[in-house]
Amino acid sequence: MELAELPNSRTESDGSAVIRALSYNIRSLRDDEDALARVIRACAPDLVFVQEAPRFFRWRKHAARLARKADLVVLSGGATAAGPLLLCSLRAFVERTEDVLLPLTPGHHRRGFATAVVRFAGARVGVVSTHLSLDPAERGAQTELLLDRVASLDVPYVIAAGDVNETPGGPAFGRLAGTLQDCWSVAPWGGERTFPAVAPDRRIDAVFASAGVEVLACGVPAGLPGVSAEDLASATDHLPVLAALRLPAAP
């Protein structure tokens, strides 16, 4: 599939919805925010799963500014989820949101989940943005908490995305991919490696989807119209992962 052929968001006649979901570690907006916003806009996402959103002074203002620049709105998360943030387009009808703080290991960064349940046309979907620990043992425990959270959302479909801090050969990544669909593995499109943004050599960012979600394409959108190599390099230290997904309507 050519990059220009990534499916566009749409509602189909049977009530199902094709959406675009973008996962992006934005390094607390410490880099070129305008370049970041241009990348996000060019991807035309319905959902953005952000990691490392601003967490301190005026963090809500910073999140709202990025959303405005990207033609989106803030859905959930930020400092109240210890960094994960969710943005969405106006296509999403929001049912509920919840920010979750995970147990704190002394000497480590606090972690959390930004979660929500939204509807696109006739499809209900739970969404979770996550940023797992650098510590292998803590990362494994957080993976189990993530899967528990996914199961607790009680919706037909779930999308979980974020910075796994581990490559697909690792146990946490493998646990997630064994329970959910690793969207890049199902329908690879675009680039694979996500870190570092300049000369990436590993895939540590991913979009996962529950059974029933049809994965149409997923990958790093380098070369997508409107996404320049210069903007990708200057926006943050990670590359984004963009997935086109079809959500069947509820029976």
**5 occurs within a structural domain:** no
**2 occurs within a structural domain:** no
**240 occurs within a structural domain:** yes
Residues 6+ apart with CB under 8 A from 178: none
**Is the pLDDT reported for residue 4 higher than 70?**
no
- CATH code at position 150: 3.60.10.10
Residue 203: domain span: 13-247
Please give the span between the terminal C-alpha atoms of the chain, in angstroms, as a whole number: 31
**100 occurs within a structural domain:** yes
**92 occurs within a structural domain:** yes
**Is the pLDDT reported for residue 1 higher than 70?**
no
Among candidate residues 35, 81, 41, the one with its CA nearest the CA of residue 59: 81
User: How many domains, in total, are found in the chain?
Assistant: 1
User: What distance in Å separates the CA atoms of residue 11 and residue 150, rounded to the nearest whole number?
Assistant: 25
Average pLDDT taken over every residue of the chain: 96
**192 occurs within a structural domain:** yes
Residue type, 74: V
Predicted confidence (pLDDT) per residue in 33-77, tens digit: 999 999 999 999 999 999 999 999 899 999 999 999 999 999 999
**70 occurs within a structural domain:** yes
Quote the percentage of the chain above a pLDDT of 90.
Answer: 92
